[in-house]
Amino acid sequence: MDIRFIVIGKLTREFILPAVGQPRLDVPGGSLLYAAGGLGAWESGVGLVGRAGDDYPRAWLNEVKKRGFDTSGIRIQPQALDVREFIAYSESFEASRINPVAHFARRGMTVPKSLLGYQAEKAPEEALRLTVRDIPEEYLTARAAYLCPMDLVTQTQLIAGLKRGAVHTFILDPAPAAMTPAARRELPALLNGVTAFLPSEDELRNLFQAETHDLWEMAEAVSLYGCEYVVIKRGEHGQFLYDADAKRRWEIPAYPARVEDVTGAGDAFGGGFMAGFCKNYDPLEGVLHGNVSASLKLEGLGAFHPMDALPGLAEARLEALRELVRRV
């Protein structure tokens, strides 16, 4: 396969108690798959980089291959690794990731044995930490790379490694834990040479605390660390896009999707953004494609739901959304 796009992220085993509908217990998830699904709705030639233990179901990885993704960058470690993730949603889609026992009890359900001993706050296992050596040599001819949320040091090292190859577009989604005032001294090293930075509104506000409440001021301040574009993900309110070089601002509303499952929508946005941006290196096209990928993800279950949309639906949404963009 000719690898044109790289997605680097985490694989998880998801245990989801949705706002409505049946629980989804021990199913494939993680930022890597959700971003791949958002990208795969538009493009092919995608290589995935991640890690999992030898207890990760091979059938899940085979399904990823059947979807057309190259999985030679997914390294299976010679040990069992805990990649469980629990999320319970309220009727208003507020997420809770702690105390599974209480959430199952509230719904009159028994906690599945496969979730016993789960700890939400535990530090990630060292064997799951990605390094430059995890990126296959044949991936270095790709044109663009999307880095899902992970710690700052890992993201910085991976970007440095990718720059050895032909990759020239770097799109980066920060981890919430990295977006703190104390971490701001690390951001210049991370963002220097990054094409697009995709924080959420909450992450950006946490980074600046009470220093300013103006999102555009925050976007401009972050762009000074070296990235070309800042995209602020605002959930149901859509996105703000800031072009650092031209000092341009756009506001893009969220496509009005029927919400069934919000899990992974931000990651799907990132994958879609990379697809749209790389068509002609237009950041607004990136946001529009990402917006549509997220809308498709919201309407169904599982990381690859955007790829199962009716033919022509994504393109129709893209055209409808294009009419709603507002230059600020």
DSSP letters, 107-127, are TT-PPPGGGTT--TTPPPPGG
In a domain, 20, yes or no: no
Q: What per-residue confidence (pLDDT) applies to 125?
A: 87
Alpha-helical runs (H) found in 195-312: 201-208, 215-223, 265-280, 283-298
Enter the tokens of residue 228.
């070309």
Number of domains comprising the chain: 1
> Which structural domain, as residue segments, surrounds residue 214?
5-11+32-78+127-327
- Residues 206 and 173 sit within 8 Å (Cβ to Cβ): no
Q: What per-residue confidence (pLDDT) applies to 120?
A: 85
- Residues 271 and 38 sit within 8 Å (Cβ to Cβ): yes
Sign for the CA dihedral angle at 278, 33, 250, 210 comes to negative
Enter the tokens of residue 28.
């494939």
Enter the tokens of residue 12.
């998880």
pLDDT per position as a tens digit, 143-201: 999 999 999 999 999 999 999 999 999 999 999 988 999 988 999 999 999 999 999 99
Q: Does the reported pTM lie above 0.95? A: yes
pLDDT per position as a tens digit, 195-233: 999 999 999 999 999 889 999 999 999 999 999 999 999
In a domain, 43, yes or no: yes
- Walk along the chain (328 residues) and give the pLDDT tens digit of each residue: 899 999 999 999 999 999 888 899 999 999 999 999 999 999 999 999 999 999 999 999 999 999 999 999 999 999 999 999 999 999 999 999 999 999 999 999 999 999 999 988 788 889 999 999 999 999 999 999 999 999 999 999 999 999 999 999 999 999 998 899 998 899 999 999 999 999 999 999 999 998 899 999 999 999 999 999 999 999 999 999 999 999 999 999 999 999 999 999 999 999 999 999 999 999 999 999 999 999 999 999 999 999 999 999 999 999 999 999 999 9
Burial grade of 140 (CB within 10 A; 0-12, 13-18, 19 or more): middle
In a domain, 139, yes or no: yes
Average pLDDT, the chain: 96
In a domain, 319, yes or no: yes
CB-side exposure of 45: number of CA atoms within 13 Å?
A: 16
Q: What per-residue confidence (pLDDT) applies to 168?
A: 96
Residue labelled with tokens 């701001």: 184
Q: What per-residue confidence (pLDDT) applies to 4?
A: 98
In a domain, 255, yes or no: yes
In a domain, 267, yes or no: yes
- Residues 155 and 170 sit within 8 Å (Cβ to Cβ): no
Euclidean distance between CA atoms 35 and 93, whole angstroms: 20
In a domain, 280, yes or no: yes
Q: What is the CATH number of the domain that holds 233?
A: 3.40.1190.20
Enter the tokens of residue 54.
């030898």
* Relative orientation angle of helices 31-40 and 283-298, to the nearest 10 degrees: 110
Nearest Cα residue to 254 out of 317, 205, 328: 317
Q: What per-residue confidence (pLDDT) applies to 121?
A: 79
Identity of residue 145: A
**Helix then strand then coil, % of the chain, to nearest 5:** 40, 20, 40
Residue labelled with tokens 């009890």: 105
In a domain, 90, yes or no: no
Q: What per-residue confidence (pLDDT) applies to 59?
A: 98
Strands 5-8 and 144-147: parallel
